[in-house]
């Protein structure tokens, strides 16, 4: 049974990951890698409009590139938010001036982006955002807080969903603003330490931050339409590349089960086979809906529900097959030093968030119920 990667390949890839990690500490950072990709023409290969990308490519070629990148153990991307979320949104809704200003910089790997959507009181419910942008001479003054902002500590720019119409409620009166992050005293980024000991997400505080008036995408008050369009780009070709990584993780769990003897348990074997079969189904579903999300409005929500729950179950099995050894880290630790996790421990802990970030399972089910099944809309209280 093929679980996605041969043992000898996994040993090689593990060695490559160690090498990349050591060299990253020596100064080969992710921003340099983005610029290397841009210089070689590998950013924006799917942008068909205006010549802003580096290469033209069919949808099939984009899938091939994304999957081969995932298989190659190349460094994690820090420019994917700009390339896969902002760029398609600008192509669909941006002015010619906005495209000319921002798309070439993304394609070159010169500017990194983060996404200012979720807030402490408005996580998956984006219509409840309270960040305010007040019109002033030449632009907007932004006040509020965003949370779970991936890569904010590295980003040059943030696209922010903010309320530009005083007294507006829910999805009315919102605008989609492009905000420079280099504003000392006006923007503060605070990393959030996770169970894994790392800080991939951040809190971002806007205290009078400035955005130029020409950096409103889609026009003032049209932020909800632009924001929903962006969410439609969030799950596409990248889903298939993600599944390559899932297959590698599953392969490691299988080998751990064989080494520990857990594979002799018929219940464990059944769970492994079920995960393998479900991963195949996810791939077929992703291929079936690829490029056809407009015809199937619930497809992104179905995909998110499928992979999030699957990944959590894989994480649970990853520590189960290790037995008591799963509670011991790969290195000694003390209260004064960050702890380390091995691959299985990191998978288990990080995957606990899978059913929350990117739209919680509850929100995905509500979307399917209302937009696909036509069930009555969920009451939103007095602000509806």
Catalytic residue positions, numbered: 234
d(CA 365, CA 358) in angstroms, rounded, equals 13
d(CA 213, CA 6) in angstroms, rounded, equals 54
- The counts of H helices and E strands in the chain are 12, 8
In 77-173, the DSSP E strands lie at 113-116, 132-136, 139-146, 157-163
Pairing outcome for strands 174-180 and 187-192? unpaired
Pairing outcome for strands 139-146 and 132-136? antiparallel
Rounded to a whole number of angstroms, the distance between the first and last alpha carbons of the chain is 52
Closest CA to 129 of 86, 84, 170: 170
Q: What are phi and psi of 160, to 5 degrees?
A: -120, 130
Q: Quick one: tokens of 204?
A: 């971002």
From residue 281, how far is each of 264, 288, 336, 369, 384 by CA, in Å?
26, 10, 45, 22, 38
d(CA 257, CA 276) in angstroms, rounded, equals 14
């Amino acid at each position: 049974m093929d679980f996605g990667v041969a043992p000898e390949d996994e040993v090689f890839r593990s060695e490559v990951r160690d090498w990349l990690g050591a060299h990253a500490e020596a100064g080969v950072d992710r921003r340099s890698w983005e610029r290397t990709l841009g210089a070689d023409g590998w950013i924006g290969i799917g942008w068909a409009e205006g010549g802003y990308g580096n290469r033209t490519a069919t949808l099939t070629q984009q899938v091939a590139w994304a999957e081969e990148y995932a298989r190659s153990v190349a460094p994690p991307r820090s420019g994917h938010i700009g390339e896969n979320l902002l760029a398609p949104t600008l192509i669909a809704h941006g002015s010619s001036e906005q495209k000319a200003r921002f798309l070439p910089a993304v394609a070159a790997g010169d500017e990194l982006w983060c996404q200012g959507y979720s807030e402490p009181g408005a996580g998956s419910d984006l219509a409840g955002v309270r960040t305010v942008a007040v019109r002033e001479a030449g632009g907007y003054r932004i006040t509020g807080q965003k949370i779970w902002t991936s890569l904010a500590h590295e980003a040059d720019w943030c696209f922010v969903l903010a309320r530009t119409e005083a007294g507006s409620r829910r999805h009315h009166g919102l605008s989609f603003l492009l905000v420079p992050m280099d504003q000392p005293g006006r923007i503060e980024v605070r990393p959030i330490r996770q169970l894994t000991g790392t800080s991939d997400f951040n809190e971002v505080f806007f205290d009078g931050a400035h955005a130029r008036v020409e950096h409103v995408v889609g026009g003032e008050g049209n932020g909800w339409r632009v924001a929903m369009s962006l969410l439609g780009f969030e799950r596409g070709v990248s889903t298939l590349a993600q599944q390559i990584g899932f297959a590698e993780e599953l392969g490691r769990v299988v080998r751990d089960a064989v080494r520990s003897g857990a594979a002799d348990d018929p219940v464990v074997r059944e769970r492994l086979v079920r995960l393998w079969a479900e991963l195949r189904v996810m791939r077929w579903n992703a291929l079936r809906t690829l490029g056809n999300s407009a015809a199937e409005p619930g497809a992104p929500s179905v995909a998110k529900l499928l992979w999030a729950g699957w990944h959590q179950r894989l994480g649970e099995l990853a520590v189960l097959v290790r037995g008591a050894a799963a509670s011991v880290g790969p290195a000694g630790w003390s209260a004064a030093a960050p702890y380390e996790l091995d691959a299985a421990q990191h998978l288990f802990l990080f995957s606990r968030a899978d059913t929350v970030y990117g739209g919680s399972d509850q929100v995905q089910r509500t979307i399917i119920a209302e937009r696909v099944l036509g069930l009555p809309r969920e009451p939103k209280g007095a602000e509806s």
